[in-house]
Structure 1
Amino acid sequence: MAVDPGLLEHARDLFAGLGPITTKRLFGGTALYIDDAMFAALLGDGIYMKAAGALVEDYRAAGSEAFSYDTKTGPRVIPGLTSLPDSALEDPDEALTWARRSLEIARAAAERRRAKKR
Structure 2
Amino acid sequence: MPARLPEFAAFVLDQLSPIPSLSHSRMFGGIGLRAGETFFAILMSGELYFVVDEQTRREYEALGSGAFTYQKKTGLGISRRYYRVPAEVLDEPERLLAFASASIAAVRRGKAPAARRSRRKT
**Which category describes the TM-score, using the shorter chain as reference length?**
0.7 to 0.9
Alignment of 1:59-98 (within 5 A): 59-98=60-99
| Divergent runs of 4+, >6 A | none
Q: Which has the higher helix share?
A: 1
TM-score normalised according to structure 2 size: 0.80
Partner of 2:119: none
Residue 91 of structure 1: CA displacement?
1.1
Given that 2:32 and 2:42 are in contact with CA atoms closer than 8 Å, whether structure 1 keeps it comes out as: yes
The structure showing larger relative contact order (alpha-carbon pairs under 8 Å, at least 6 residues apart) is 1
Partner of 2:34: 33
Given that 1:3 and 1:30 are in contact with CA atoms closer than 8 Å, whether structure 2 keeps it comes out as: no
**Structure 2 residue runs without a partner (length 5+):** 114-122
The amino acid of 1:82's aligned partner reads: Y
Alignment of 1:4-43 (within 5 A): 4-43=5-44
Residue 58 of structure 1: CA displacement?
1.6
**Structure 1 residue runs without a partner (length 5+):** 113-118
Distance 1:3 1:52, change over 3 A: farther
The amino acid of 1:98's aligned partner reads: F
Aligned-residue Cα RMSD (Å) equals: 2.0
Residue 20 of structure 1: CA displacement?
3.0
TM-score normalised according to structure 1 size: 0.82
Matches of 1:27 and 1:41, distance apart in 2: 10
- Is 1:100 the counterpart of 2:98? The answer is no
Alignment: residue pair count: 111
Residue 3 of structure 1: CA displacement?
8.9
After superposing the two structures, state which structure 1 stretch, 7-16 or 20-29, moved more. Answer: 20-29
Distance 1:3 1:84, change over 3 A: farther
The higher radius of gyration belongs to 2
